[in-house]
Structure 1
Amino acid sequence: MPSLRDTIADDLRTQIATGHLEAGARLPSEPQLATYYKVSTPTLRNALALLQAEGLIEKIHGRATSSAARSSDSPTSTAASSPARTSASRSVRHSSTREVT
């Protein structure tokens, strides 16, 4: 059984891959995401750290976290409900792009 961290990372990864989180789009704040997923902030941060290590999101201290844009050859998967449609403190970027904010 996957951990909460892995489950959250998988959900956000799917949203990025399917375009529900667009390149350069800001993600909701950590407290908002933690509330949405019903987890503690440290658990959520662990999930975000996985995505950051994969190059799917970019976290810059003092700035919003952004989602990495997906390249045209990235695999896609089925859509998940999106907590990222609210105001955000993170954003998405494609791995082929250095920074999109």
Structure 2
Amino acid sequence: MLEAVRLWSAERKREVASLQKVGVFGSYGRGTASVGSDLDLLLLDAAAEGPQHQRLRQWPLERLPLSCDALVLTPDELTALLSSGNRMASELKRDLRWLA
């Protein structure tokens, strides 16, 4: 699965110059994924703007071989999130694994 995500990420990076990194978190980031696990992605896009539902439109998540939840953040947004101390920040600090 992670190899498929790496290939998908490499294709996206060739198409979108502002895409800096793609990472997995949740069960795939922890290495505990099993049957029924979904894929949690974080796309670090320097040019991202607008609400999440608009940001996600440009990314062909349907090309991934598994259902996917994704966040598209700018580097500044990720830095702010990680320093917020909330539950999501704790989970990302623990689980986030950069693939591309």
The TM-score normalised by the length of structure 2 is: 0.30
More strand by share: 2
TM-score (norm 1): 0.30
Question: Is the helix fraction higher in 1 or 2?
Answer: 2
Structure index of larger Rg:
2
